[in-house]
Amino acid sequence: MNLLSLAELHSAQEILSAVALHTPLLPSAALSELAGRQVLLKCENLQRTGSFKMRGAYVRMARLDAAEKARGVVAASAGNHAQGVALAAQRLGISATVYMPENAALPKVVATQRYGARIRQVGTTVAESLAAAEEDAASTGRVLVHPFEHRDIIAGQGTIGLEILAAAPDVGTVLVPTGGGGLLAGIASALRGGGSAARIIGVQAAGAAAFGRSMELGHPITLDRVATMADGIAVPEPGKLTLDIARSEVHGIRNVGEESIARAILLLSERTKVVVEPAGAVGVAALLEDIEVGEGPVVVVLSGGNIDTLVLNRVLRHGLTTAGRYMQMWVRIPDRPGSLANMLNLLAKAGSNVVNIDHTRTGSDLGFEEVEVGIELESRGVEHSQEVLDMLRDHGFVVETTTNLRA
């Protein structure tokens, strides 16, 4: 076990005192009602650069010696670590080159450039970008600032755990977004070093579930493929150091699906007025999937808020759909005057709001006197959506929907 000491964590906290924000721990009435106990949100989405990553990056780079700083640094990231490294380099006067996937979110690429880092876009995954960064470091002598596999990185992330303990010393459970494991290992070190017996649960996306399987086997495994909207934790292989700490101190790892992540982003936006990226929402997604949280207050770490507005629009639409508040349906109606108006009048009486309509008069499976109407509408939830469908069918309409209504 390589658990970080309190001395290491407090030293990191001192280094960060002039640059990192002490992010708030906010109560959520909506999530507290859902969990049946107090839920507090650790809002690292409000941190400088929009995520926790700047903590570890700054500590790692601040501790470089003069010769290392003169050579510069190189890093790889889908966005959050990239911005953390770029900001740290700007503050410390260090040259930084950051490798990012070719499909990295444009706002994250632009933000990294604005902090002054040189961007190299290589590959389609963080693993491919990291391989390119390692080659760069080997050939140029630049210092590789790994996104999670270094004690200084873990120490920087662990300062979040110190802040949690200071604000909520009676915390019972902490839900931590998990990819490579730096945040998880850091918070575990802080809580255990501070004498807390809180249950620490890592939460990963089901489509990038390397950490949990590695915990089970006792060594890092490499996934052949990762597929999740949560690009901040889409890591195919965890670190050896982070895994070693987690195996001794973490209660368990929970996987969450894409629908739950979308619903979590929607809930946070509507009920807590907080905008987070998919990786930052996985702890809330675990609550939505009825994770067992035990006794005492629950702290959910919102690890980042760097979400492309176009992606946010799609995710919110998906979240509304999975919550039964947005439906897409196809309705067959007689091809005669007044049929469409009659159907729309029924939808209005049912209290649903039509947001888009597509009128199709031809099709190989349509009858001679039939037309098909594609409708997108808003409702008040699952039960109301089902009432709308039942009402249309009771009036003789043939209705098909791709929406999976679940209470």
Tell me which residue of 35, 21, 25 sits closest to 287, measured CA to CA: 35
pLDDT digits (tens, 9 = 90+) for 186-245: 999 999 999 999 999 999 999 999 999 999 999 999 999 999 999 999 999 999 999 999
Distance (Å, rounded) from C-alpha 279 to C-alpha 51? 10
In the prediction, which pLDDT does 324 show?
74
Token duo for residue 397: 């309409």
- Taking CA atoms, 78 is separated from 73, 75, 124, 234, 400, in Å, by 17, 10, 10, 9, 39
For the chain, helix (H) and strand (E) counts, in that order, are: 16, 14
In the prediction, which pLDDT does 156 show?
98
- Which secondary-structure segment (H or E) carries 75? strand 73-76
Share of the chain above pLDDT 90, in %: 73
Q: Are 342 and 384 in contact (CB under 8 A)?
A: no
In the prediction, which pLDDT does 315 show?
83
User: Does the annotation count 53 as an active-site position?
Assistant: yes
Token duo for residue 107: 């706002």
- Taking CA atoms, 227 is separated from 31, 98, 125, in Å, by 27, 23, 10
- Which secondary-structure segment (H or E) carries 32? helix 29-35
In the prediction, which pLDDT does 404 show?
54
In the prediction, which pLDDT does 366 show?
66
Angle, to 10 degrees, between the axis of helix 80-92 and the axis of helix 106-114?
10
Mean pLDDT calculated for residue range 343-351: 91
- Which secondary-structure segment (H or E) carries 215? helix 210-217
The answer to whether residue 167 scores a pLDDT higher than 90 is: yes
pLDDT digits (tens, 9 = 90+) for 255-285: 999 989 999 999 999 899 999 999 999 999 9
In the prediction, which pLDDT does 407 show?
40
The answer to whether residue 383 scores a pLDDT higher than 90 is: no
Phi-psi region of 105 (alpha: psi -120 to 50; beta: other; left: phi over 0): beta
Token duo for residue 355: 């947001």
Distance (Å, rounded) from C-alpha 28 to C-alpha 299? 10
Strand order across the 173-177 sheet: 25-27, 39-43, 298-302, 173-177, 199-205, 252-256
Token duo for residue 299: 């702290």
Token duo for residue 276: 């987070």
Tell me which residue of 167, 189, 204, 334 sits closest to 249, measured CA to CA: 189
Q: Are 116 and 86 in contact (CB under 8 A)?
A: yes
265-270-273 Cα angle (round to 5)? 90
CA 250 to chain CA centroid, nearest Å? 20
Q: 406: pLDDT confidence band, cut at 50, 70 and 90? A: very low
Catalytic residue among 53, 108, 196, 385: 53
Distance (Å, rounded) from C-alpha 105 to C-alpha 278? 13
Distance (Å, rounded) from C-alpha 329 to C-alpha 336? 20
Dihedral through CA 352, CA 357, CA 359, CA 364, nearest 10?
-90
In the prediction, which pLDDT does 367 show?
66
In the prediction, which pLDDT does 221 show?
96
Sign of the four-CA dihedral 213, 217, 221, 224: negative
Catalytic residue among 129, 303, 379, 385: 303
Q: 362: pLDDT confidence band, cut at 50, 70 and 90? A: low
Structural domains in the chain plus CATH codes? 6-51+150-320 (3.40.50.1100), 54-144 (3.40.50.1100), 324-401 (3.30.70.260)
Three-class SS state of 96: strand
pTM of the entire structure? Answer: 0.86
pLDDT digits (tens, 9 = 90+) for 87-112: 999 999 999 999 999 988 888 899 99
Q: Are 181 and 208 in contact (CB under 8 A)?
A: no
Please name the residues in contact with 98: beta carbons below 8 A apart, sequence gap of 6 or more.
Answer: 74, 75, 76, 77, 82, 85, 86, 112, 117, 118, 119, 120, 133
Distance (Å, rounded) from C-alpha 5 to C-alpha 24? 24
